[in-house]
Structure 1
Amino acid sequence: MKYAVSFFIVLLLVVSGLLFIQYQVYSDNLEAGQGEFTYTQEIEIDYRNNSLDIRQHFRNLPNQNIDIKWPPLAINPDCFLESEQTCERLSEDKTRFEIGDSRSQSLSYVIPLDGGLQSKHLLKDLFVTLGNAKVSYSTIHITTDSQIEGQWVTGLPLIGQQSLSLVNYSMFSGQGEVNEVYYIADDIKLQHSTDLISIYAKTPLDEQFHESINSIQFLNEHHVAIVQGESHSGQQGERIVFVNDLTLDGLNQSVLLSQIDSLYDFGDNPRWMKEVIAAFLTGSVSLENKSSQIVNALLNHMSDKQLESWIQKLEQLKGTKITSTVLDKELSEVLQKNTEFFELNETVEDVFTLLFSDNRKVILDQNVIEDVNLIYQNGLLYYSSDEILAALGYEVSDGPNGYYVNSELRQFRFPENHKFYVFNQRRYDTISNPFTTIMDKRYIEESWLQRLFLVEIEKTNSEITISPITTLQ
């Protein structure tokens, strides 16, 4: 009993120590502004004198240092005295909210518009963002002089708009962050609206189209605004999507790509990479293009369990930077084989075949052959031919009549694209080609290597041992 009590006391001290350390780390993170948090925001935009006067109110802020990132074009940054407490946490250099009990703070700033408010301009990076934080809900109010008519779009659901004697007013509100607004002077109106999608078009949508919109697949609950037409710059927004033709297929693809962009950091990666990820997350392939061919190639190679694991990995990558290297790493883990499938497809316009590399050491005469590459294609193992044949004692070269492999007693010639080879001046027909070209490099299939060049091959999990069964002298 005495030992049990002693053990319990020691255990209690250890647990207490761990809790104290965790609390210290937590406290240090708060003081350093490293604790992640969510907040809500309300943004007031007043267009006057060729500028957007903006007041941005932050709610539900934690008691920690919070970095402030001002918009690149903002001038006259300051706090906004909405109440007695809404200015008390802004630092003197206006780069952060300092530790404080007030959970609401307000800022004001001005965004000059070169040439004033222009129709069809997508205005991006307009608002303040906070470090280490995500916006859970946003509300935007936009006010202009009554003489300025037209439609505002923010990517949030339109709650209402009103034309008064002196001003025009619009209000938007919904889940998530918003970083852009769009203004168009043309006669374009909100024709369809749900919690997830709004469609602004010149003419009303027919009833069948309204019903078909319900079949659109969404990857998150953040609202998307579809605008018929183009922005002046030709750019797409994060939550504002421009389409010329309002077709269901085009709409579905535009929405998916917009939401994929909000879920991952693609940088300047090609469009097909986004389409591939969207296809796996939604379980649909709609277009006959490079992305659909890549998806089908992977589906044809995956078991149901591997497909489930692959989709889980794509889900886990949300919020991270996506590159071909990252996708190849995850795909290799799922398939338990090394591949550079995505990286290779970045280098060609068509679709590169799904290949797998074998990293096992190749042993000949108890020595490792360093330069031999091993690749699986269509279930067959190929060896880089120049390196493996040279290691076996042959001289290899390309000539006018094909690929030459020679030793003192054994001379081979393999014509390109012909189903025969010549051995010691005698022709032999073949059903399949011993060689294939992969990434501009010639490879020989394993069974042909054994048959033509008289070697035995033994394999372990880490090595492939090649043993000649005859000499070349």
Structure 2
Amino acid sequence: MKIVIRTVILLLIMNFSLLYIHYSQLADANGTIKQVLPYSEEIEVVNRTDALFITHHFRNLNPNRYEIVWPEGSADISCFNESDSSCDRVNNNVSAILEGENNYQSISYTIPKAEAMTMKKVWKSPFVTLKGAAPNTTMLHITDETAIGGIWISGLKLVGTKKTEMIDYSLFKGEGQVTDLYWQQKTLPLSYKGNNLTILGEPFNEELGVQLNDQLSKMNATHIVLAVDSEGESLQTDRFVITNLNLPEIWDVVLDKGVRSKYFFPEGEQLTSNLIVSILIDKPIGTERSKEAFGMLKKSLKTSQLEALKTNLADRRGTNMDASLLDQLIGDVSGLSTTFVQKNNEGSYPLLFEDPKIIHINGEAQEYLKTIVVNNRTLYPAIEILTQSGYTLSITDQSIYIENNTEKFRFSLLDPFYVLNERRYTFRDSPFELIDDKYYFEEDTLRRLFHLSIQKNQESIFITTLKGGEI
């Protein structure tokens, strides 16, 4: 008996394990929340004439295996034997950190230079990363042995600098990872320093810097450096912006960098990132289409729903984000489904919500029919509902004609009136809307003019006629 029980328990454990693996892989494939392994890192960079010499320390590693992703063009790759245990998890070809309990490992490598540094230099992705992992914090030491001077920008906060006859030393520290490294010969004065933003360049109205820093703080963005040089060339990376524009002109760009420090967006989804910024700071930014989309969202969602949306977005920081997922989050707080963000990434489109309730007509479920909600108005597909109610419909450039044996309606498409059996009535708000080349009538209009009873429960909508029983 004990053997049978043990066998059953073992089978249950195996089944649960397989289910866990399956759904973990499924979540990753669908682009939903994908957790990354955290660690902290310390990077020591020595700048010499021929290369950057880098020693990279990984701390607070968990026991998992980590695949090492080497920078393009890196050379002289090796494990760094700082202590007896600093290499015990690094494999022989230095391609992975293996499973193990030691949470501290070190490696070293160089980034050769194709030419001497003169006026400016940018290194794209110059440091090792670990696949499926990201650093919570980074400490970056830069020791310059070339006596070339200038300034270094990494996106992290500059903690301090020290100059001697032989070397220049800079220390940076902050949240997240260094994605790019920049040097330029021309030095720029410190104009503003906040928790989320540093501005280099000529003095400006400090209140603007405070406002921009506060908005980055609302997004919980990682620290960003903005270097303003009227005579310089523009350069944008994930964590710093070099620009010859003034602060108001580059404002939205900096905010977009801030939101991209917390979410991973696919290519071509600028509106999605702009819209998330607008939601988090409660202020429209970006293109006119982005601002218009945020205005429609604010008009359609209640204050409590917008706050819930902010909370849901905050819970997903550090994960993948796209238009489809943002639509899903909007649907979660509204209780309705929408493709609003996806449609607006393609072109200007109104905010429509689809009610998931199934419409029943003639005692049968019409699963292909959906009601939509626009600006808190519930609208029904006119042709499908009314033709099954005994009416005929025809549409011209000027009017909608709806008729049955006793009633003849003409709704003007040009002016706010309709005609019923040759008697004219005016209306203040149009009872119908044209959406995607399809006419929808308002729920109250269907009840009042076309004698329809519309009853609802949590799953369904039942339509009956007050003239002659069920439709």
TM-score bin (small chain): 0.7 to 0.9
Q: How many angstroms apart in 1 are the aligned matches of 2:302 and 2:319?
A: 26
Distance in 2 (CA, whole Å) between partners of 1:387 and 1:365 is 12
In structure 2, distance between residues paired with 1:211 and 1:437? 45
1:21-74 Cα distance to aligned partner (Å, 9 max, x none) = 89xx9xxx9xxxx9944233223242432x433222223444553321212332
Aligned letter for 1:398? I
Where 2:341 maps in the other structure, the secondary structure is helix
Task: Tell me if structure 1 keeps the 8 A contact 2:358–2:370.
Answer: no
Equivalent-residue separation in structure 2 for 1:375 and 1:333 (angstroms): 16
Aligned partner of 1:95 in structure 2 is 95
Give the AA of the match of 1:445.
Answer: E
Residue 182 of structure 1 and its aligned partner are, at CA, apart by 0.9
Q: What's 1:3 paired with? A: none
Q: Secondary structure at the match of 1:238?
A: coil
Structure 2: gaps (5+ residues): 22-34
The corresponding residue for 1:414 is: 411
Alignment of 1:278-317 (within 5 A): 278-284=277-283, 289-317=288-316
Distance in 1 separating the partners of 2:195 and 2:378: 53
2:105 counterpart letter in structure 1? Q
CA deviation after TM superposition for structure 1 residue 417, in Å = 1.9
Equivalences for 1:101-250 in 2 at 5 Å? 102-117=102-117, 119-144=119-144, 146=146, 148-201=148-201, 203-204=202-203, 217-218=216-217, 219-220=219-220, 222-229=222-229, 235-247=235-247
Rounded Cα–Cα distance in structure 2 between residues aligned with 1:208 and 1:279: 20
Aligned position for 1:46: 47
User: Whole-Å Cα distance in 2 between the matches of residues 217 and 364 of structure 1?
Assistant: 51
Q: 1:443 Cα shift? A: 0.9
Q: Answer whether contact 1:43 1:140 (CA < 8 A) is retained.
A: yes
Partner deviation per Cα, 1:130-187 (whole Å, 9 max, x = no partner): 2454424323233445363422111122234455555444332334321211122234
5 Å matches for 1:28-67?
36-49=37-50, 51-67=51-67
| CA spacing shift, 1:96–1:230, aligned 2, 3 Å | farther
* Structure 2 match to 1:399: 396
Residue identity in the other structure for 1:55: T
Deviation of 1:97 (Å) = 1.7
Matches of 1:209 and 1:380 in 2, distance apart? 40
Residue 346 of structure 2 aligns to a residue whose secondary structure is coil
* Partner SS for 1:346: helix
User: Secondary structure of the residue that 2:386 maps to in structure 1?
Assistant: helix
Correspondence 1:250-265 to 2 at 5 A:
253-265=252-264
Q: Which moved more, 1:316-325 or 1:226-235?
A: 226-235
Distance 1:52 1:465 in 2: 72
For 1:307 and 1:120, the matched residues in 2 are separated by 44
Counterpart check, 1:461 vs 2:458: yes
The structure-2 alpha-carbon separation of the partners of 1:316 and 1:353, relative to structure 1 and needing over 3 Å to count, comes to same
Q: State the alpha-carbon separation in 1 of the partners of residues 52 and 239 from structure 2.
A: 20
SS at 1:52 equivalent: strand
SS in 2 for 1:372: coil
1:336 equivalent in structure 2: 335
Contact 1:146-1:163 within 8 A present in 2 as well: no
Contact 1:196 1:224 in 2 (8 A): yes
Work out the percentage of aligned pairs sharing the same amino acid.
28
Task: Assess, with a 3 A threshold, how the Cα gap between structure 1 residues 72 and 210 changes in structure 2: closer, same or farther.
Answer: closer
Give yes or no for contact 1:313–1:330 (8 Å, CA) kept in 2. yes
Q: Report the Cα offset of residue 282 of structure 1.
A: 3.6
The separation in 2 between residues aligned to 1:341 and 1:157, in whole angstroms, is 38
- Tell me how far apart the structure 1 counterparts of residues 211 and 105 of structure 2 sit (CA, whole Å): 43
Aligned residue for 2:319, secondary structure, equals coil
| Deviation sequence 1:68-114 (CA, Å, 0-9, x none) | 12123323422233344433332123221224565433222233445
What letter is aligned with 2:364? N
Find the counterpart in structure 2 of residue 8 from structure 1: none
Matched, 1:388 2:389: no
| In structure 2, distance between residues paired with 1:367 and 1:382 | 20
Q: CA deviation at 1:335?
A: 2.1
Q: TM-score, normalised by structure 1?
A: 0.78
SS, match of residue 48 in structure 1 = coil
Whole-angstrom CA distance in 1 between matches of 2:408 and 2:210: 72
The answer to whether the 8 Å contact 2:139/2:171 transfers is yes
Change beyond 3 A, Cα 1:397–1:242: farther
Deviations 1:318-377 (CA, angstroms, capped at 9, x unpaired): 12222222222222222223333323333334xx44332223222222223344331223
Does the CA-based 8 Å contact 1:435-1:445 persist in structure 2? yes
SS for the counterpart of 1:178 is coil
Please state how far the C-alpha of 1:123 moved relative to its aligned partner.
2.2
Alpha-carbon distance between aligned partners in 2 of 1:394 and 1:137, rounded to the nearest angstrom = 67
Equivalent pairs, count:
442
Q: 1:150·1:185 contact (CA, 8 Å) conserved in 2?
A: yes
Is the contact made by 1:230 and 1:242 (CA closer than 8 Å) also made in structure 2?
no
In structure 1, the residue matched to 2:27 is: none
Q: Which amino acid aligns with 1:430?
A: T
Contact 1:47 1:145 in 2 (8 A): yes
Q: 1:359 aligns with which of 356, 359, 374?
A: 356
1:159 and 1:256 mapped to 2: Cα distance?
Answer: 23
Of residues 415, 419, 424, the one that matches 1:428 is 424
Secondary structure at 2:156 match in 1 = coil
In structure 2, C-alpha distance between the alignment counterparts of 1:400 and 1:212, rounded to whole Å: 51
**Compared with structure 1, are the counterparts of its residues 101 and 376 closer, same or farther at alpha carbon in structure 2 (3 Å cutoff)?**
closer
Q: How far apart, CA to CA, are the structure 1 residues paired with 2:173 and 2:78?
A: 25
Q: Is the contact made by 2:222 and 2:262 (CA closer than 8 Å) also made in structure 1?
A: no
The 1-side partners of 2:136 and 2:320 are apart by 22
Task: Report the residue type matching 1:139 in the other structure.
Answer: M
**d(CA) in 2 for partners of 1:231 and 1:318?**
37
CA offset at residue 455 of structure 1? 3.4
Q: Deviations over 1:368-411 (max 9, x none)?
A: 33443312233332211122233234443333543334556655
Instruction: Say which SS state the counterpart of residue 328 (structure 1) adopts.
Output: helix
Give the TM-score, by structure 2 length: 0.78
Q: RMSD across aligned C-alpha pairs, in angstroms?
A: 3.9
Tell which deviates more after alignment, 412-421 or 124-133: 412-421
